[in-house]
A and B are shown apart, each in its own frame.
Chain A
Amino acid sequence: MTNLQLLWFILIGVLFSGFFFLEGFDFGVGMLIKSFARNDAERDVVIRTIGPHWDGNEVWLITAGGAMFASFPMWYATLFSGFYLVLFLILACLIFRGVSFEFRANMETERWKTFWEWAGTIGSGCAAFLFGMLFTAMIKGMPIDKNGDMTAHFTDYVNLFSIVGGVAVTVLCLVHGLNFIRLKTSGELRDRARDWNKILYPVLFAGEVVFAILLFFSTDFFAKKPLSTTLIVVFLVIVTALAYWGVLGNHEWLSFVGSGLSLISVVVLIFNGLFPRVMVANNPAYSLLIKNSSNSPYTLHLMTILTFSILPIVLVYFIWSYWVFYKRLASPKQNA
């Protein structure tokens, strides 16, 4: 394994971390359109919290996909063709939720408005769940052949472990979304988000514990890397606890950063466990490794130079755009 290959493995991890940190809360906010917001005016505010940002957040996924293609095409090809149906469903969800924000605002009849609200809610929820399921199934080990082609059956994707993984990620996104709403609104909505999180956090803790237990039995993570895996799991629980403490004690930034870090530590857990593989095969001989799945040194070198010259500029204006919209939105008056 060369340094460049290692660097790109880490960069892919960073991009997915960025994606889950950012799109995590807008998935969460999306899920809340129908249940959390109680009327039209509240829904406007809830959607508006992510209005200027959701498409930028989604670009992290596009970039992660593109970077994977540009650095580990074998991984990209195996993962994407192998998880065909799951990815297809994710895409369908992303489409529905993506257009729903714009379309909802422009619908005249209540019925169509409601339709797009549900599209946004279900699309966001299912996308989060399916992402969780995909990554959990991926680390469990899949039937991959010599050519790197994966032919998985229903139970390879859908099993207790992957469902728990999916639910855990969904709940994480949900609390992250609520923490974001607390930062971006004031009044009624801001208080309600806190009440919701007080209930959701205990659920999340339970989910994390079950996930950790299943991780022990379903993957080789603890067997191969006992120390680092344990440390990351402990870190995950600690940041979740900190976030919960933030919720109880009204430290909004702490709880938001905490839930974001929880999502990131899930990604770190996965990437740490994968290393030095990128795809785990049922037959270890066919697992894809970092060292034989990557592009040529020339391309990696080129991509490294380009990335490190473009990325800083991107980060500057990306962060600036959040700065521009830092103002809180007021909750609409009751019965308004």
Chain B
Amino acid sequence: MINLGLDILGLARFQFGMTTVFHFFFVPFSIGLAFVVAVMETMYAVKGDKDYKKMAQFWGKMFLYSFAVGVVTGIIQEFQFGMNWSEYSRFMGDIFGAPLAIEALAAFFMESTFIGMWMFTWDRFNKWVHVLFIWLVMFGSSLSALWILAANSFMQNPLGYIINKQTGHVQMTDFGAIVGNPQLWNEFPHVIFGSFVTAAFVIAGCAAWRLLKKDHVTFYRKSLQVALVIGLIFSLGSIASGDTQMRYLLNNQPMKVGAMEGIYKNSTEKGEWTAVAGFDTKAHKTTWSVDIPYVLNLLSYHKLTGTVTGMNQANKELHAKYDKKFGSDINYYVPTKTLFWSFRIMSGASALFALLAIVGLIFNRKKSQAILKQKWFLYIMGLCLWLPFIVNTCGWFITEFGRYPWVVYGLLTIADAVSPNVSVASLLTSNIVYFLMFAGMGVVMVVLCHRTLKAGPDAENTDGYSASDVDIDPYSKGAFNHD
């Protein structure tokens, strides 16, 4: 076969990354939308204002699209462990399988059952029962995030296990430690808050575009209002939870933090924070940078003193710790540029979100039509609807690239995790097809959302399910008569 310079490991990594990123466009979006829609429907139930019902139904459509894509890409995600990472599955099965199975059992069933109920039973149940359905969907999807992050947290910070001497595989000894992993309780709120922010700013952005056209002003202003309130609360929440997570990582994964801050040498007592910089990753050097004193210490320790471990120091410590087991020629430097810029985009965007929400809420005050006159603001808001997806991807990049070269921190390298028996040709085929399918689904999603938006909240329900319903009880006598 022609050597294209492609190998199993590279292709498997690319495929995993691609699937994760694509899946993670829709997961936070649908968790967040479930929350926002649930809030809207609850407001309808409380206030009896039909506008809120219309809002829940309208934004609920986008939720249904993203849910469908989320489900199908989720199956790829689950099967991929066995298909592309069989050695990982054998090594980690004792720990990783449990949260995955519980996720399916406790969360997916709840989500998919109640989403069907919610979707098809408008006006068939008491409005409070119907509200309960969407909250159960929301609860189910958050629960699934919790379990999958529990598995991920173990990979970042293994706890509650021993290595089985016979097989060399990990073995669970303490389920409590796995669920109580501090990494999990730092990661989970950050991901959930990020999800709420995602949905809030997508809705706010969509509403802003329609307001620019002066379309359904009352409806979109109300939507904007709900979205911005949620957006403000949870962008502040995600900044706060990001901060605690960062401080946790200082001790736990110093290499990751070093790369996020772009420091090779340990920082000095003055705590210079690098705002922007260029890197020579081969020589492990910063080529140029713009530094601001004391900010690093403020960010890291919330005070003016202290030092942060640089990557060179972290590298030395990792070698000292792991050379015996993994050999001395392993490279512990993580992709510095990716982490450095991802971190800046992520934190910068979060601050921008909070700011936009405040400004938006001021413009959108009751009675005044100020928001319609601030076209510049609506444009920015509208453009920012894409930003959360980039931010989520950045967050995932930091988490996952930041533990290089491990798949399970300190226990298993990525190279040792891959399926040895899958051919390059198979992998290449699946990569190409998945890529095309993801691209296709992405395009359809955007087109559908755009069309839904253009059709507006008064459009006829086009979900095709509203086809003639007759009340024939299949258990009644008449139902069995065939004439």
Contact = CB atoms under 8 A, between A and B. Distances in A.
A105 B61 CA distance: 12
Given A44-B465, A80-B79, A73 B100 contact: no
Given A44-B467, A63-B108, A70 B100 contact: yes
- Which of A92, A106, A314 is the most central at the interface, judged by chain B CB atoms within 10 Å of its CB? A106
Given A77-B93, A81-B82, A302-B172, A95 B109 contact: no
Decide if the interface of chain A is mainly helix, strand, loop or mixed: helix
Contacts of A321: 113-114, 116-117
B79 A91 contact: yes
Interface of B: 64-65, 68-69, 71-76, 78-79, 81-84, 86-87, 89-90, 92-98, 100-106, 108-110, 112-117, 119-121, 164, 171-173, 175, 419-422, 426, 429-430, 433, 437, 441, 444, 448, 451-452, 462-465, 467-475, 479-480, 482
Contacts of A148: 90
A191 B75 CA distance: 36
B100 A69 contact: yes
B156 to A, nearest CB: 19
Contacts of A92: 433, 437
Given A80-B83, A317-B109, 18 more contacts: A51-B120, A62-B104, A63-B105, A66-B103, A76-B93, A81-B83, A85-B429, A91-B76, A99-B444, A102-B463, A191-B482, A296-B94, A303-B101, A311-B105, A314-B106, A317-B110, A317-B113, A329-B467
18 contacts: A44-B465, A44-B467, A51-B120, A59-B108, A63-B104, A66-B78, A66-B100, A69-B81, A69-B96, A69-B100, A73-B90, A77-B82, A84-B426, A85-B429, A87-B79, A88-B83, A91-B76, A149-B421
A105 B462 contact: yes
B97 A76 contact: yes
Interface in A66-99: 66-74, 76-82, 84-85, 87-88, 91-92, 94-96, 98-99
What are the 10 tightest A-B residue pairs by CB atom distance, in nearest-first order? A73-B93, A80-B82, A70-B97, A105-B464, A52-B116, A69-B97, A66-B101, A77-B86, A81-B86, A70-B101
Nearest to A253: B474
A108 B112 contact: no
Interface residues on A, range: 35 or more
A86 B180 CA distance: 38
B468 A88 contact: no
B98 A70 contact: yes
A41 interface: yes
Contacts of B105: 63, 66-67, 306-307, 310-311, 314
A106 B470 contact: no
Nearest to B162: A296
Contact of A58 (B71, B420, B444): B71
A70 B175 CA distance: 13
Contacts of B469: 327, 329-330
B108 A69 contact: no
B480 to A, nearest CB: 7
Given A108-B451, A329-B468, A59 B89 contact: no
Contacts of B451: 106, 108
Nearest to A112: B444
B98 A76 contact: no
B68 A98 contact: yes
A62 B111 CA distance: 13
A103 interface: yes
Contact of B71 (A52, A69, A72, A98): A98
B474 A77 contact: no
Contacts of A252: 480
Query: Which of A149, A299, A307 lies at the interface centre, i.e. has the most chain B CB atoms within 10 A of its CB?
Result: A299
